[in-house]
Amino acid sequence: MDFIHLNEMQFYGYHGALAEETVLGQRFTVSVSMAVDLAEAGTTDDLSKTVNYAEAYSVVQSIVEGEPVKLIETVAERIAGKLLEDYKTQVSGVRVLIVKPDPPIPGHYSSVAVEIERGRLS
């Protein structure tokens, strides 16, 4: 299987369970890997046979910068679901990693994150 990776995209959103997260907002780093058969795109040089990176970026951006939710788990599910829906014929599976570099919780750590992997039901 082949993969398309959109690595460490940076966005600013208002997701979080704590009040200050929904008021002040924070940075989010998102990486997405999409399972795609790239053979035909690679041999024909035809963009319609693959996933347009700019369009996929816009999908992720609209969700992360869009309607606030409490959990980044929810953000990850929305991203995975939308990419699978929008690219029905190209994408057979998707992995989404969302990192909160600066969550407002005490302690010493570099970040908190969730990662999910979703595919098509047979």
pLDDT in tens, 15-44: 999 988 999 999 999 999 999 999 999 999
| Given the residues 70, 82, 88, 100, the one annotated as active site | 100
Among 88, 36, 86, smallest CA distance to 63 is for 86
Q: What is the pTM of this model?
A: 0.94
Question: Token pair for residue 17?
Answer: 């369970």
* Structural domains of the chain, ranges and CATH numbers in brackets: 2-119 (3.30.1130.10)
pLDDT at 93 over 60: yes
CA 38-40-42 angle, to 5 degrees, is: 65
100 is catalytic: yes
Q: How far apart are CA 33 and CA 7, in angstroms?
A: 8
